[in-house]
């Protein structure tokens, strides 16, 4: 059986190199190339060698369209601003697209969902298997505990992270809101400062901490009268995200039906 050709967008960055190494180590997958921004020093270099592996013969380019055209699947952990163009390229080339980019907004997800009419598209606020299990637990807890418990979501990441709250924190908020049967947009509170007054009943609060080299920590607190329930997850290595992304590629190859999927579908947690 032929190997599935996999390309990595943003392949020279820390996450990109982890993805390259994970793809190279996976059964049934082969590196087909990678991209970086025009003028980047990695352009023209061997994708595998750049990540400290034996050369594979595929080089780093600066044209995402070329990568989509010559590969079976593409992994994207780049930036939200590129999501729409990458979605369009995936749809045109009928290339599997796995997106682990944090900070996607409604317009980005809409473009990716549209691309799913033509090819398998898998997104994840987090590609971690543990985080996706946590999402299911949070939804169940929110439904079981009800409105008598206030919900607060606390996340911490390294000082270089540019978005807040994190995509994973927002996904946890959506899971909690779904458990309560409400829209997160109507109950989200992430801007407390000064004299804010009493906490509004039913709100889901967010706190974003930044510092050092923290890979990722998330806690969901259900605070009731006289008791408190906490669910959480800590990441000690970014490798878990690369591992999850590769698992999503393998699942999409086996599934192969066009559609807009999440990691819950990949891991069998989806309620759809």
Cross-sheet strand order for the sheet of 259-262? 60-61, 29-35, 4-9, 73-76, 96-99, 120-123, 259-262
Question: Per the structure block, which two tokens stand in for 149?
Answer: 């418990």
At the top level of CATH, the class of 4-123+238-267 is alpha beta
* pLDDT one-digit tens code per residue, 86-103: 999 999 999 999 999 888
**Is this model's pTM higher than 0.75 or not?**
yes
At the top level of CATH, the class of 129-235 is alpha beta
Q: Is 161 a catalytic residue?
A: yes
* pLDDT one-digit tens code per residue, 170-224: 999 999 999 999 999 999 999 888 988 999 999 999 999 999 999 999 999 999 9
Question: Per the structure block, which two tokens stand in for 26?
Answer: 């996976």
Summary mean pLDDT of the chain? 94
Pick the catalytic residue from 40, 70, 114, 161. 161
Pick the catalytic residue from 157, 188, 218, 233. 157
The whole-number pLDDT of residue 1 equals 59
Query: How do the domains of the chain map onto residue ranges?
Result: 4-123+238-267, 129-235
């Amino acid at each position: 059986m032929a190997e599935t050709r996999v390309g990595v967008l943003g392949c020279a960055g820390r996450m990109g190199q982890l993805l390259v190494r994970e793809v190279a180590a996976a059964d049934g997958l082969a590196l087909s190339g990678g991209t970086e921004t025009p003028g980047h020093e990695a352009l023209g270099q061997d994708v595998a060698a750049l990540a400290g592996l034996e050369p594979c013969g595929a080089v780093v380019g600066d044209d995402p369209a070329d990568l989509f055209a010559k590969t079976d699947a593409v992994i994207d952990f780049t930036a939200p601003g590129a999501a729409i163009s990458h979605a369009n390229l995936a749809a045109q080339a009928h290339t599997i697209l796995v997106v682990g980019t944090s900070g996607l907004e409604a317009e980005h997800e809409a473009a990716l969902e549209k691309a799913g009419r033509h090819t398998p598209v898998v997104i994840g606020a987090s590609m971690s298997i543990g985080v996706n299990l946590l999402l299911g637990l949070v939804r169940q807890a929110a439904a079981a505990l009800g409105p008598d418990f206030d919900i607060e979501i606390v996340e911490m990441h390294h000082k270089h992270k540019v978005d807040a709250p994190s995509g994973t924190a927002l996904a946890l908020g959506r899971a909690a809101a779904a458990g309560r049967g409400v829209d997160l947009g109507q109950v989200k509170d992430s801007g407390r400062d000064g004299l804010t007054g009493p906490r509004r009943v039913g709100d889901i609060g967010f706190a974003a901490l930044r510092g050092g080299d923290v890979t990722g920590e998330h806690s969901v607190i259900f605070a009731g009268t006289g008791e408190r329930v906490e669910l959480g997850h800590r990441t000690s290595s970014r490798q878990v995200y690369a591992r999850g992304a590769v698992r999503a590629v393998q699942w999409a190859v086996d599934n192969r039906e066009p559609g807009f999927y999440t990691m819950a579908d990949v891991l069998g947690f989806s309620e759809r």
